[in-house]
Structure 1
Amino acid sequence: MDYLVKMSTPAEKAMATGINVDLVMIDGFVQSAMIMDNLKRLKDLPIRGDDIYLCTYPKSGTHWTWEILNMIVTGKAEYAKHWQNSAWLEYRTKEELEELASPRIFHTHLRPSQLPDAVWNQRCKVVYVRRNAKDCVVSFFSHFSKQIWKDSTLGKHIYTGSWDDFIDLFLNGWLPGGPYFEHTFEWTNLSEAHKDSEICRLQYEDMKKDCVNEVRRMAEYLGRPLSDHTYQAISDACSFKNLKHANEKIKDQTYHVHWQDGSSGYFRKGTTGDWKNWFTVAQSERFDKVYEERLKETFPY
């Protein structure tokens, strides 16, 4: 990647490496150009006290958890009408977000410091899901290297570079979803900036092992306890197979991202540990070294 030295910004370097999306630098980090205006207005977004925020790094079980939260709020295992993109905090306009009925269940890939200040001042409910970083990067690569937006004028997949270069883009924080390490560090150390904030922390792998228990934890955190039967029903309805079917065949497609024919959807495998089928020993060791340096912890998987 020596040819990238001549590029002036990480956003330009990422696009030169094979990211076929317009990228810009916002507050020192790479972001998709299409959300630049929304991010500028976000700090002053009007907040309701009963708003719920689902916060994840991309490819960390966002669709899954958002659907679970909606079922907890309604108290029954019925799918929300729209795709989660209808409530994507940084991609919807202020007017679109205002039209959502309370309690609004937003989802976002933003860091705590990027959220509206009122989220913390009004002590809104916040659910944070973390996932094994190596599974994240595999899912991210698969998503970007197989998708072509239906209205894409380039007619190219979102990413056309190599797997090895994609790992470096992830480690450098040059992907459109923002920097993984800064995102994880801020959420992991949230109490330093917001000492009085109580959030619900979840681990993707724990949700895969015992979804019923994690659904219960979310419901109790939201102050909306349900019966054991309902917890099981929600877990079943939100299994990978059932949720994939619902998103493709049942739910309203208004806010669904449309892909050209032959592109895969959001749902790939929904498994844990698939990274072992992708990483070489050298790539894994390179990843572990950066992971441990940036997060001050040993890679746990």
Structure 2
Amino acid sequence: MSTPAERATAAGLNADLVMLDGSVQATFLIDMLKNVKDLPIRESDILLCTYPKSGTHWTWEILNMIVAGKAEYAKHWQNSAWLEYRTWEELEELASPRILHTHLRPSHLPETVWHKGCKVVYVRRNPKDCVVSSYHQMSKQVWKDNPAGKASYTGTWDDFIDLFLNGCLPPVPYFEHTIEWTNISEAKKDSEICRVHYEDMKQDCVREIRRMADYLGRPLSDKTYYDISEACSFKNLKHANEKLKDQTYHFQWQDGASGYFRKGITGDWKNWFTVAQSERFDTVYKERLNETFPY
């Protein structure tokens, strides 16, 4: 029987893939992933935890502005603070408080995150929109270990949905990731995390920025909340990331596109899912999470 990594390769994922702790991973990341649990964590660290394409860039920039106390963009891309991707030396160079981001499940994070009482912000998004966004990104993205310049994914849209539902997409299976983060309060009873929904941020970004600032113990003026919301609008943040930020930690993309910023909207899945695909997705969602698909 083939592994999820083998099924992903057969369906059109163009990278050397292996299995690690039940997840499909790119081979070039394995050494770093094996050492993640031993990374030094500071009490002042703030962790942003998301499933891919759930508003990570958006929220990371907001958190940086909250900590800075003003609507000023961080110098680098969020990739500069990617917990499982950067080296120990690179992370050590970051000034405190560090806003680290990760797509890891709670059980794969350094235990010191919980022992030291770090602030943790978890963002969740409609998974159908995540699938659409991931499909478009991976259809243009050129991974580090792909010197031929092939896009990360060259298979069909239908197969991509299948890979998602069966936990075959790197770097983490959606349902396992969601279940762990949903139940984190039971596993880490002394840890209080801030739960944010992408859709709530789209509906009232100022309100959610204020809520995150209160959680971090860094309340700001109403004007600053509005300034941060405006600076982190899709149009402005896209421009900042492509034109203003240091590109040291930026990945390669086909056709010169940034890839990370496509539409930044909710409900785009309705333009991509057929009725049959949507119904199948809803069925699997209900089976795995024991709840009706809420969107």
TM-score tier after normalising by the smaller chain length: over 0.9
- Aligned match of 1:175: 169
Relative distance call for 1:186 and 1:150 in structure 2 (3 A) is: closer
Alignment pair present for 1:186 and 2:180: yes
Alignment pair present for 1:255 and 2:227: no
Q: How does 1:1-301 map to 2 (within 5 A)?
A: 8-149=2-143, 152-301=146-295
CA contact (8 A) 1:149 1:260 kept: no
CA contact (8 A) 1:57 1:177 kept: no
Q: Deviations over 1:239-280 (max 9, x none)?
A: 000000000111111111122335452100000000000000
Task: Give the whole-Å Cα distance in 1 for the aligned partners of 2:99 and 2:256.
Answer: 31
Name the Cα RMSD after superposition: 1.2
Task: Give the whole-Å Cα distance in 2 for the aligned partners of 1:105 and 1:148.
Answer: 26
Alignment gaps of 5+ in structure 1: none
Corresponding residue pairs, total: 295
Alignment gaps of 5+ in structure 2: none
Task: Give the whole-Å Cα distance in 2 for the aligned partners of 1:21 and 1:295.
Answer: 30
Q: Secondary structure at the match of 2:265?
A: coil
Task: Give the whole-Å Cα distance in 1 for the aligned partners of 2:86 and 2:274.
Answer: 39
CA contact (8 A) 1:60 1:129 kept: yes
Q: Deviations over 1:54-100 (max 9, x none)?
A: 00000000000000000000000000000000000000011111111
Amino acid at match of 2:53: K
Task: Give the whole-Å Cα distance in 1 for the aligned partners of 2:8 and 2:74.
Answer: 36
Task: Give the whole-Å Cα distance in 1 for the aligned partners of 2:88 and 2:24.
Answer: 23
Measured after TM superposition, the shift of residue 44 of structure 1 is 1.5
Larger deviation, residues 34-43 vs 128-137: 34-43
Amino acid at match of 1:175: L
Identity among equivalent positions (%) equals 78
CA contact (8 A) 1:146 1:264 kept: no
Task: Give the whole-Å Cα distance in 2 for the aligned partners of 1:261 and 1:149.
Answer: 14
Relative distance call for 1:120 and 1:150 in structure 2 (3 A) is: closer
Q: Secondary structure at the match of 1:43?
A: helix
**TM-score normalised over the length of structure 2:** 0.97
CA contact (8 A) 2:140 2:254 kept: no
Measured after TM superposition, the shift of residue 120 of structure 1 is 0.5
Measured after TM superposition, the shift of residue 154 of structure 1 is 2.5
Measured after TM superposition, the shift of residue 150 of structure 1 is 8.0
Amino acid at match of 1:92: R
Q: Deviations over 1:198-257 (max 9, x none)?
A: 000000000000000000000000000000000000000000000000001111111111
Measured after TM superposition, the shift of residue 157 of structure 1 is 1.2
Task: Give the whole-Å Cα distance in 2 for the aligned partners of 1:227 and 1:40.
Answer: 42
**TM-score normalised over the length of structure 1:** 0.95
Task: Give the whole-Å Cα distance in 2 for the aligned partners of 1:160 and 1:127.
Answer: 33
